[in-house]
Each structure stands twice: as structure tokens, then as C-alpha cells.
Amino acid sequence: MAANDTKDNGAFKLPDPALVSRTMADVAERGQRIVADFLRRQSDEAGASQDAIRPDPLNIGGAFMEMTAKLMANPARIVEAQFGFWQDYITLWQNTARRMMGDPVKPVISEDPKDKRFKDDAWRENEVFDFIKQSYLLSANYITTLARSADDLDSKTAQKVDFYTRQFVDAMSPSNFLMTNPEVLRRTAETGGENLLRGLQNLLGDLERGRGKLKIRMVDDSKFTIGENIAVTPGKVVYQNELMQLIQYSPTTETVLKTPLLILPPWINKFYILDLRPKNSFIRWAVEQGHTVFVCSWVNPDESLANRDFADYMRLGPYAALEAIDKATGEKNVNAIGYCLGGTLLSATLAHMAAKKDTRIKSATFFTTMVDFEEAGELGVFIDEEQLQSLEEKMSKRGYLEGREMAATFNMLRANDLIWSFVVQNYLLGQEPFPFDLLYWNDDSTRMPAAMHSFYLRRMYQQNDLCKPGGITLDGVKLDLRKIKLPTYMLSTREDHIAPWKSTYRATQLYQGPRRFVLAASGHIAGVVNPPDAGKYSHWVNEDLPETPDAWFEGATELSGSWWPDWHRWILGLDKRRVPARIPGEGALPAIEDAPGSYVKVMATD
């Protein structure tokens, strides 16, 4: 039978023997090299770190043992949950049998319409796969409900149990396995298993990228080059120090607003999330509105910066930028934007400046920024004493936190979208990743200096000292966020899994100046990077700032489209004065190099 006839008559296509032979030989050679390299590095690390003898650095076992003990104290609850589960399961068996006989039946349990794992029609149209899907959903519901039903668990332990229970449930989805995923089975039949051979090659490539640890390739990074087709807004680096390069962007209008705009992005990631491509670049859009835009491009630190702390980031970040902007433009005053951790730094800097009567920052905008960490969302799962000690041991040896470790933590917060979907696409379907600018940025991870990161996690996430008057001292100054009295614009996103909007809202009750809080639809990135021309995602506004976020939302008005124009109108309401456009490098600071500069091009794996 001709190979090209198999798809039409439904026969299973046999794989090309030569392809199988070549693949297996390659697997053997590469696999031996990967394992040898991984074992050598594990041996080296074991000799230099106590991590090797830590059986449970995440302290998961202790949390689940406590949960189990609480459940066993109330066996009636377990019996009740099991009884309900088996009742639903028997109903599912009966419905499946009736459906196979041609009777219409309603599902016992349905997936969330937004759940992309079950988008293939076979999950609903085929009786067997519909049964597999509903069996999984019933089991998942039973497991998560039981884990959440333990009485008297403290909130941190309950959160950890719930988080890792959902990690397990997500991992066990039938969509993640060859024999229970209809789309994978169909592709395997069509290609004679060549998809699995390609997937095996993809798996080996990802193990090689991670040097023995799996580093899932999410994007075709060969299609992007920073400064060529991503991060391409024209400008110049006009100042640099060991922690950051300051980029000044070239104007596109004859006149510009008198007050320059300074953007402080997070140094957990790279700044070009705000300058991905021209169509979705906030930086380019701000330039087109007449802003003289300056951006701090943070260094990707190595061991030489291990002792740089939060005060260093303040001193060599916003303070150094203010001095440089004064020299470059002759303007002492700026409007400032801080994004996520950059916003936390901006808030701390403003409190520091308030104590020193420094008024050079005239307005502050915060993108998805937490300053009160009491309810930090699911990131709090990773901030207990055992995990912090383990993390600090790793950082003390290297001088920094590996970028991929930080990225893995964030990916776990959206495991189905950022882990398991790529397992299916790359390894089971054998597909190559797509060239997607946002995922390219997400994969371009950065390191974190040991001293700074330990301070940030302990003093802010664990002890929540920033929102306490005098709780944190930077460069000899006790910080009090209540002394921040300049105009503030706070932008949060409704589906944010990193900085939950109800936590970011707490800042409205801390700052004392004119305040505006705006809530955008979508998440931590997409809700911020939402250009007006895209016509996507709405936002909510409310001139009042009641004590609770729920009360604010109840009185809010939903408006269609991007929040960007709302922010620009707010800025213009503060000061509309304009001056002739400023050309980077023509002031007192000569241009060092073209934007986006060299710091942003340093990869965490270099």
C-alpha cells in the first residue's frame, strides 16, 4: 500500500524506518551526553551546597501531612466527599452507556468554556473521550474539594496545599498523555508516529538547553533579534552605571511636553515588554503623544553584583536617572512610571524623597504594583521560612538567583497555559513553537542579585514592612508611604496572578495626594500592553476611593478599549506646557550607543 494513500482509507501509516533509525541513534548519543553532563554538575553542586541533603526544600510534605491530620480528625467529611464522588461516577457510567445506545444525555460535569485543554471536538462528540474527560473533571473536583475541607489550617498552609494540589491535578489531565488525548492519537495515526519522533527530538533539545534540566521551549526564538525586530523604538543610551542604562527616545513631534517621562520597569524581566513591536509598544505610543521618554534598562546581574541591595537599586536607578535627565534636558522635574517591582521601587523612592523634601518627581504612575503584601496571591506559596533558607543557600553560592528559576515559579502560576500546553504541542504533537513576541520576552529571563532579592522577599513579601511607617530604612532614611502626597495614577489588572488587583488597591489608602485608580481587563501583561488601536479589553474607572476594593468595583463604570488614553488625559491635566523637541545626545549627555542598548542583550545563560 502506498504511504500517501493511508490518510484517505484510514489505515495507520507506518513510520519511515530510516527516520526511526536516525532518530534513535541521535537520541542515544545526545542522551548519554546530557545525562553525563547533568550528573557531573549535580556532583559538583552537592559538594558545595547543603541543598543536596534537603529532602523537601519547598516544605510541601509538611503542609500535606498537616492537612491529612486535620482531615483524619473529621472522617465523616471524608466519607461524605467520597460518597458524593461515587454517586457522580455511577451516574457518569450510566449516562455513557445510555449515550452509546443513542440516548441524549446531559454531562454530569462540564469543563470551563475557557479551558483550552479540551477544545478538540472529540472530547464532546466521542463517547469514550467524553467519559475520560468527565472522569478526570470529577476526580479533580473531588481531590481539590477534599484538600480545601481540612479544618483549622493556618492560611499559609491552606494556600500551599491548595496550590500544589492544583499543580498535581493539572499534571494528571488526560490531555497531557498520548493514549488519552484524541488530537495526539489522530496526529499519530496520520503521521505514523513521526510526531512522537519529532517530539522526542524536541525533548532532547530542551534538556540540552537546560543542561540536563527540562527548559521547555515556548517560542521560536530564531525569529527575533533585540534591536532589529523587537525593542526597535529609536533612541540613544545617554547614561549608564553598573546597574542600569538610561535610554532617551527620539521625538516624533516638533514639540514635546515640558516634563519628561521616566519609566522604571521591573528588573525581574527586561524593559522591552513596553516596546515589543511598533504596534503594541507603550514607549513608542508615549513618544507619539509628545512625551520625552526615558527608560531604565536594568543590567542582567552576575556574581560581581551579589551584594547590591534594594538601596543600591534606588540610588543607581531613579536617583541616578533624575540627575542624568536634568543634564540631558535641563529639566529637574519628571513624571515617573513604575511597573510591578519597578513600581515598588518607585514607591520606596518617593517615600525616601518625601523625607528629604525632594520634589523632583511631580507625578507617579504605578502599573500592577504592590506595596502592601499582606495578601500577595499565590506567589506567597513560595515565601515561607524553609523555602527562603533554601533559596538563600543557592544564591550565596552563585551570588544571584538564576533567571530560569524565577521564570519557572511564574510559569507554575499558570501551569496549563505556560507548561502543559507546550508539553502537548512540543513533545506529543511534535510541533515547533510559534514566533510570538510576548513569549520571546517571557523566555528572556533575568537574574536577581542575592542581597537585593533576599531583602525583597523577606522584608516585603514575608514581613510586609514597606507599608508600615518606619518599617524599612534605606540609606539611613525611615520610609513612610503615607508621606507620599504627589498625584498618583494606579493601574491594575483584573486577572493578575502576580500582583492581585485587590492587593494593589490597598495603596489607595496609603498615599495622601490626588489619586486615581483604574482597573484594566485581562492579566499582568496583556492588561497593561493594550494599545488603543487593538480594540481589546475594557477598563473600569471610579472617581471615589472607598476603603475596600469590592466597594470600589461596585461603583465603577466599565469603558471599552484601552486605558492608555485615560492615563494620557490625566497627565495632561497636571501640566500641558510644551517645549521644542529634545534630541537624544544633543544635551549635556552625549549618546553612548543606540537604543535598546547593550545591557538588555545580555542573556541569563551567557
The answer to whether 538 and 519 have CB atoms below 8 angstroms apart is no
**Cα gap 438→419, rounded to integer Å:** 15
**Cα gap 525→413, rounded to integer Å:** 14
Phi, psi of 491 (to 5 degrees): -110, 120
Residue bearing cell 542575592: 450
Region class of 470: left (phi > 0), else alpha (psi between -120 and 50), else beta = left
The answer to whether 294 and 325 have CB atoms below 8 angstroms apart is yes
- The set of catalytic residues is 340
Phi, psi of 568 (to 5 degrees): -65, -40
Q: How many CA atoms within 13 Å lie on the side-chain side of 581?
A: 14
Degrees to nearest 5, angle at CA 238 with 236 and 240? 120
Q: What 8-state DSSP symbol labels residue 427?
A: I
Degrees to nearest 5, angle at CA 42 with 41 and 45? 85
Q: Characterize 476-503 residue by residue with b for buried, 16 or more Cβ atoms within 10 angstroms of its Cβ, and e for exposed.
A: ebebbbebbebbbbbbbbbebebbbbbb
Q: In terms of Cα–Cα distance, which of 338, 136, 284 is closest to 595?
A: 284
The answer to whether 404 and 215 have CB atoms below 8 angstroms apart is yes
Q: Cis (ω within 30 of 0) for the bond into 596?
A: yes
